[in-house]
Chain A
């Protein structure tokens, strides 16, 4: 899965975005299926890059949101940009829930005096898994810019638009996130 292979249907569909979303909002049969078929894979891939796991659930949640809020689409951006924003929000929510659950599990394990054998980082062996865990170890905002910039192939201006930030702050965050990722990978024994 490299950035070049990621489908960016924004250019192809931009002219028809409003028409498609209006069709979905008015309940035209088959319109929603068209959207799902076109964007299921890129949405799922973005969710997987951001989360590593639970991508299928997030993908379904993204399209649930799309179906519920189709009438609010104003056509100020492409559908893909809109879907990316929704996916980012859903992933943030999922990460927050995971963090809460992880804290609770850690607290529960401490209560039961269990050894942290279940910590997946401890059993990570291959390089791909280590990199995945390193990305997961980044703060949410850092993870977003790394994934969007280097795995989704988005430019700093596109990332700035998606995250509602200035291009300058995106570039600064990208630089900082890269340093953090490098540090985490070095600690894990992988030297980029």
Chain B
């Protein structure tokens, strides 16, 4: 800085009025500090009160009673609930009857099926028996022809034994047994 500027600043500073010297400054400062502390306490207290009050209000504020709505619904239910129940009951009975009918029909179908199977099986058995009887009869006739020849009687007895062994429950098998016993 040039000397001129410094001098100018110093002169202006010297020309300025001296700052006021207050004799009561210390007490004024103490009062100001007290005021500040009191204001801070009041502010903090007010904030606490507002927060606590807000929480209390939020807790104590009567909430929208959900029972009112429920009561209305309950009144409607009381009147309509019986009808609904009866309707549901009738519907359930109807479905139960249908289910029972279906079950009966299924059962009948099963019985019919098993009966058919039995019949089918008996036919096969009869056919098989017939075929066995026929075969046994053929073997028996062959043995009887051999039996007519005295030289072939042993062979004939052997054939009777075969018929008896192979077709024991047939009529021809019984006749073969008779021939064997008669021969002995």
Report whether A40 and B22 are in contact in the complex, using a CB–CB cutoff of 8 Å: yes
**B9 CB contacts on chain A under 8 angstroms:** 131, 135, 146, 150-151
Contact mask for chain B residues 1-26; partner A; CB cutoff 8 A; 1 contact, 0 none: 11011101111111110111110011
The CA-CA distance from A63 to B21 in the complex, in Å, is 13
Digit string of A43-85 for contact with B (CB within 8 Å is 1, else 0)?
0110111000001100110011001100000000000000000
Please tell me if the beta carbons of A32 and B26 are within 8 angstroms of each other in the complex. yes
Q: Is the CB of A64 within 8 A of B15?
A: no
Which residues of chain A have C-beta atoms less than 8 A from B14's C-beta?
A: 1-2
Question: Would you call A36 and B19 a contact (CB within 8 A)?
Answer: no
Contact of B11 among A47, A128, A146 (CB under 8 A): A128
Q: Which of B11, B13, B16, B21 is the most central at the interface, judged by chain A CB atoms within 10 Å of its CB?
A: B13
Also in contact, A44 and B36, with CB within 8 A (given A60-B25, A132-B12, A151-B10): no
Task: Give CA–CA (A182, B9) in the complex, Å.
Answer: 11
Main secondary structure on B side of the interface with A: helix
A5 CB to closest chain B CB (Å) equals 8
Within the complex, the shortest CB–CB distance from A173 to chain B, in Å, comes to: 13
Verify A1–B25 contact, CB threshold 8 A.
Answer: no
Q: Which residue of B lies closest to A174 (CB)?
A: B1
> Are B5 and A33 in contact, CB atoms less than 8 angstroms apart?
no
Number of A-B contacts (CB under 8 A): 86
Interface pair A55/B19, CB less than 8 Å apart: yes
Using CB atoms, name the residue of chain B closest to A4: B10
Pair B4/A192 contact, Cβ less than 8 Å: yes
Known contacts A36-B29, A128-B16, A132-B12; is A178 also within 8 Å of B22 by CB? no
Given A60-B32, A63-B29: A190 and B8 interface contact (C-beta under 8 Å): yes
- Per the 8 Å Cβ criterion, residues 94-114 of B in contact with A are none
B6 in contact with A150 (CB, 8 Å)? yes
Which chain B residues lie closer than 8 Å to A56 at the CB level? 19-20, 22
**CB atoms of B11 and A3 under 8 A apart:** no
Residues of chain B from 23 to 44 with CB closer than 8 A to chain A in the complex: 25-26, 28-30, 32-33, 36
Query: A41 at interface (Cβ–Cβ under 8 A)?
Result: yes
Q: How far is the CB of B43 from chain A (nearest CB, A)?
A: 16
Question: Contact partner of A41 among B16, B19, B26, B28, CB < 8 A?
Answer: B19
Collect the chain A residues with CB atoms within 8 Å of residue B33's CB: 64, 67-68
A127 and B15 alpha carbons, distance in the complex (Å)? 10
Q: Which residues of A contact B5 (CB under 8 A)?
A: 178, 181-182, 185, 192
How many whole Å from A137's CB to the nearest CB in chain B? Answer: 14
Contact of B8 among A3, A63, A192 (CB under 8 A): A192
A44-B20, A44-B21 are known contacts. Are A36 and B26 too (CB-CB below 8 A)? yes
CA separation between A37 and B25, bound complex, in Å? Answer: 9
| Given contact pairs A59-B19, A68-B33, a sample of 5 additional A-B residue pairs in the complex whose CB atoms are under 8 Å apart | A2-B13, A45-B19, A56-B22, A67-B30, A185-B5
**Which of A's residues lie within 8 Å of B, judged by CB?**
1-3, 32-33, 36-37, 40-41, 44-45, 47-49, 55-56, 59-60, 63-64, 67-68, 127-128, 131-132, 135, 146, 150-151, 178, 181-182, 185, 190, 192
18 contacts between A and B (CB under 8 A): A1-B14, A2-B10, A36-B25, A36-B26, A36-B29, A41-B19, A41-B21, A48-B16, A59-B25, A60-B28, A60-B32, A64-B29, A127-B12, A128-B11, A150-B1, A181-B5, A185-B5, A192-B4
